[in-house]
Amino acid sequence: MRFGFIGDIVGRPGRKMISRYLKEIKSTQHLDYVVANYENASHGFGLTPKNGKELLEYGIDLLTGGNHTWDKKDIFSILEEYPILRPLNYPKTTPGKGVHIEEKLNLAVINLMGHFGMPTVDNAFVTAQEIVKELKKKGIENIFIDFHAEATSEKRAMFLMLKKEISAIAGTHTHIGTDDLTIVEGCGYVSDVGLTGCRDNVLGMEEEAAIKAFLTGIPHRFDVPKKCKAILQMVVFEFEKGRCKEAYKIKAYDDEGWEITQKAKVE
Which of helix, strand or coil describes residue 147? strand
**Residue 175 annotated in active site:** no
The catalytically annotated residue of 43, 68, 173, 175 is: 68
The string of DSSP letters for 179-243 reads S--EEETTEEEES----BEE-SSBTTB-HHHHHHHHHHS--------SS--EEEEEEEEEEETTE
The string of DSSP letters for 79-135 reads TTTSSB---TTS-TTSSS-SEEEEGGGTEEEEEEE-STTS---S-HHHHHHHHHHHH
Contact 31, 6 (CB under 8 A): no
Percent of the chain that is helix, strand, coil (3-state, to 5): 25, 30, 45
- By CB atoms closer than 10 A (0-12, 13-18, 19+), residue 257 is exposed
Write out the catalytic residue numbers.
Answer: 68
